[in-house]
Amino acid sequence: MPLFLLSVALLAWSAYSDARPQPLSENAELVRKKARQRLMTSVKQRTANVPLTPEQKRREAEQKRAIRQQNREMLAMHPRWSPGSVDALWERALDDKPAALPHAAKLRTVLQRLQKQLGKPYVWGGKTPDEGFDCSGLVFYAYNAVLERKLPRTANEMYNANHLQSVRKDKLKNGDLVFFKISQRPGADHVGVYLGDDKFIEAPRTGLNIRISQFSADFWQSHYLGARRILSEKAAL
């Protein structure tokens, strides 16, 4: 009897051993690994060839436009920038390093908002494109859109604002405010925004339109009070 049981046990063990999965040889494992790699490559290629949906195309186009706009805004703050010359700076960008100013986009926005108002009539007390502008209303509209610390409303209040940097006449830069005293009242009663190249933009007076004027003209120089800088590298905006 014991011999019979031993024989049965040996037969059962032999059958179990034959039924167990045997470990793969090294060659078989390599073949299996390469097959997995080919399968993954095929899946990636099929995914890459799937055409973009209209919504994906729209988002991709918007991202590209945003990048181009950001680059243009940085170039706009190049020291040699003047109105209408931004496109030319693209050709010179490799020759000169543009100034890396943190307020580039803000100043660019201000100058664009100002230039869009050219030709509109002066309106006393106006401060929006719909109602029109007086001199300080034009500055108020253009700058306060990008400032955390807002400008006051009148030319004299802007001129006396303690947080604005005083600027010498020979150090004027694009975006600086230039102030004048035209009437007999004390203080500043007219303001414009300097654009470089001896030009500034202003809303002159009733009967005239918003325009670009020559800063060095005798009239303006005889009534000039001073200048203030709103956007500067050190300013906390």
| Residues above pLDDT 70, as percent of the chain | 66
Annotated active-site residue 202? The verdict is yes
Tokens describing residue 214: 């020559």
Residue 233 has pLDDT above 60, yes or no: no
DSSP assigned state of 164: S
* Residue 200 maps to a domain: yes
* Residue 74 maps to a domain: no
* Residue 15 maps to a domain: no
- 162: domain CATH number is 3.90.1720.10
Angle formed at CA 29 by CA 26 and CA 31, multiple of 5 degrees: 110
Annotated active-site residue 163? The verdict is no
CB-CB contact of 107 with 76 (8 Å)? yes
Positive or negative CA dihedral for 75, 76, 81, 82?
positive
CB atoms within 10 A of CB 131: 10
* Residue 126 maps to a domain: yes
Q: Number of folded domains in the chain?
A: 1
- 59-109 pLDDT tens trace: 777 776 666 555 555 444 444 444 444 444 433 433 333 333 357 888 999
Annotated active-site residue 62? The verdict is no
When the pLDDT of each residue in the chain is averaged and rounded to a whole number, the result is 77
What's the pTM? Answer: 0.57
Amino acid at 210: I
* Residue 53 maps to a domain: no
Q: Which of 55, 148, 163, 202 is catalytic?
A: 202
Q: Which of 60, 135, 157, 163 is catalytic?
A: 135
Over the Cα atoms of the chain, what is R_g? 36
The larger pLDDT score, comparing residue 35 to residue 219, is at 219
pLDDT band at 235 (very low <50, low <70, confident <90, very high): very low
The larger pLDDT score, comparing residue 107 to residue 40, is at 107
* Residue 216 maps to a domain: yes
Q: Which domain holds residue 168?
A: 104-229
* Residue 203 maps to a domain: yes
pLDDT band at 34 (very low <50, low <70, confident <90, very high): confident
